[in-house]
Amino acid sequence: MVKEQFLLRGDRSSITILLALALMIVAIDGHHVWHSRHSAISFTGMSWDIAESLRKGEGYSFIAPSYFPFSSSSNKVSAAREPVPVVLFAGIGLLAGGSYVALGAFHIGIRIITLFGIVALARRLEDNRLAMISALFWVVYLPAIREVPAKEVDLNAAACAVWSLAFFARAWSDGGTGWWAASGLMLGLAVLSRSAFMAVALGLAGLAVIAWKKPALNNQRAAVNARAVGLFLLVFSAVQLPWIARNYRAFGRPVIGTTLFGYNLYRQNHFLEEGKFVPFVAGPETERALLAFVSKHPELTGRENEAEFDRLLQKESARIILSHPGEYVLLSFYRALPLWFNWKVPEAYGQAASISDYFLMLEHGLFLTFAFLVGARALASRAWPIVVAVGTFTLIHMAVAARMLYAIDVIPLLLPLSMKGIVDFKHRHHWAWVILPTCIIICFLYAVVAVSGRLPLPSS
């Protein structure tokens, strides 16, 4: 009786709870930003560097021979990073002079926007109780806390992705052209933040087409129709056009996504010719592989632009993969481990896995298990958009390059399924009632201790 009254009161007080969770993000993340401002202030990111060039009037440019061997002051026009985070970072630079604290404050705001998106998605799937539980786990999710002061793009991508899925879930169940358009818009922005979401867009579009042809898939005969699918694709495509047009003007050829696709595909698969299975490659090994590639191609003049060099890397990667299809498939399955568990990623950077890395392995294992073995089944047709989104995002990274940093982008989508799985499992097995409160307490205490500096944050 006490438990039921507590849950009912939680449903009635959802706004108060949500505001409290937002304040927790401000407190935890703000503490992390303030106390790390000296030790990490020299950290740079590719998107931030391009934003700085843009702010200084040097255009969308970037010089980094470790990524593009021919980059120089006369060959620095870039499409190595997606434009949405670059423009936002440039805005921070203009308004706050590149302040580290301002960047942290911006990402705290993004984390709160994502919190609201998780609540909107979970409410669409079930109710306020699921929304509040899912949101609480986002508050104490360590990789997201770690990225708040970082000059990276994944928090921005996560915010766009979760709102896209919240709108898609609404359109999926109730229809309405406005919701389809809003989902296409936000998913387009997600792709322009992290281009791997292109696979998610294709997956959701395919799901919508199947539901249009077979309405029983989502049990709503009027929710998905040709007009809805067309509008979703039209808005999504329209968002991509300015970036594609800019790249065509800059390089003389269209570039969808970034010019690092070939780079990542080559660096993570080139050693297949040596019979090796390495889940993640970084550091000096990457530079060695690129130099070896250049030496094998005497036709290269050194005047090639990013897009031309990327095209050659894609062509060479395709040759390697087609020459070793079985090994490539096995390696792709192997890459699920670094994506969700960061397996061997710290070692690739010359570090050892910390206790927090192992903590995240356990946490992600529980998230995935309860999401797909219990939560997706319990939510039935309502879960299809999330299953397809997380599944396609996982597959594209398995095919190209994978590390747990990228999983941040879809964790907000996964949390409602995971929490539904835990709650449903608890209801079906009364002995398991302790799982949810135990997980909440452990994750909260671990986050507080890690942010205080007594334990390391997980590796990026």
pLDDT tens string, the chain, 460 residues long: the values are 444 444 444 455 678 889 999 999 999 999 999 888 766 555 567 898 999 999 889 999 988 888 888 988 889 999 999 999 999 999 998 888 778 889 999 999 999 999 999 999 999 998 898 999 999 999 999 999 999 988 889 999 999 999 999 999 999 888 888 999 999 999 999 999 999 999 999 999 999 888 888 776 766 555 778 888 899 999 999 999 999 999 999 999 899 999 999 999 999 999 898 887 888 888 788 888 888 889 888 888 888 999 999 999 999 999 999 999 999 999 999 999 999 999 989 988 888 899 999 999 999 999 999 999 999 999 988 899 999 999 999 999 999 999 999 999 999 999 999 999 998 888 787 777 788 888 889 999 999 999 988 888 888 7
**For residue 110, which of 40, 22, 201, 20 has the smallest C-alpha distance?**
22
- Distance, CA of 443 to CA of 420 (rounded, Å): 17
Helices (H), 268-410: 284-295, 306-323, 325-334, 336-341, 345-348, 355-370, 376-379, 384-399, 404-407
Predicted pLDDT of residue 425: 87
**CA–CA–CA angle 300, 319, 255 (5° rounding):** 65
Predicted pLDDT of residue 283: 78
Count the Cβ atoms, other than its own, within 10 Å of residue 103.
Answer: 22
- Distance, CA of 410 to CA of 213 (rounded, Å): 28
Distances (CA, A) of 149 to 54, 83, 109: 21, 20, 12
Is residue 391 exposed (0-12), middle (13-18) or buried (19+ Cβ within 10 Å)? middle
Predicted pLDDT of residue 250: 93
Predicted pLDDT of residue 39: 62
Count the Cβ atoms, other than its own, within 10 Å of residue 113.
Answer: 17
- Distance, CA of 458 to CA of 460 (rounded, Å): 7
**For residue 106, which of 127, 82, 85 has the smallest C-alpha distance?**
85
- Enumerate long-range contacts of 317-325, CB under 8 Å, 24 or more apart: 317/262, 317/265, 317/266, 317/269, 317/270, 320/266, 320/269, 320/270, 320/272, 320/273, 321/269, 321/272, 323/272, 323/273, 324/272, 324/273
Q: Which residues contact 197 (CB under 8 A, 6 or more apart)?
A: 157, 160, 161, 187, 190, 191, 393, 409
- Distance, CA of 396 to CA of 401 (rounded, Å): 8
Determine phi and psi for 239, rounding to 5 degrees: -65, -30
Report the largest interatomic distance among the alpha carbons of the chain, rounded to a whole angstrom: 77
- Distance, CA of 74 to CA of 71 (rounded, Å): 8
Predicted pLDDT of residue 43: 53
Predicted pLDDT of residue 249: 94
Sheet strands (E) in 3-114: none
Predicted pLDDT of residue 11: 55
- Quote the pTM value: 0.93
- The DSSP call for residue 66 is T
CA of residue 431 relative to chain centroid, distance: 35
- The DSSP call for residue 278 is -
Count the Cβ atoms, other than its own, within 10 Å of residue 444.
Answer: 16
Is residue 113 within 8 A of residue 133, CB to CB? The reply is no
Predicted pLDDT of residue 1: 43
- Distance, CA of 379 to CA of 435 (rounded, Å): 20
Count the Cβ atoms, other than its own, within 10 Å of residue 337.
Answer: 18
- Distance, CA of 221 to CA of 82 (rounded, Å): 37
Rounded to 10°, the helix 411-428/154-174 angle is 60
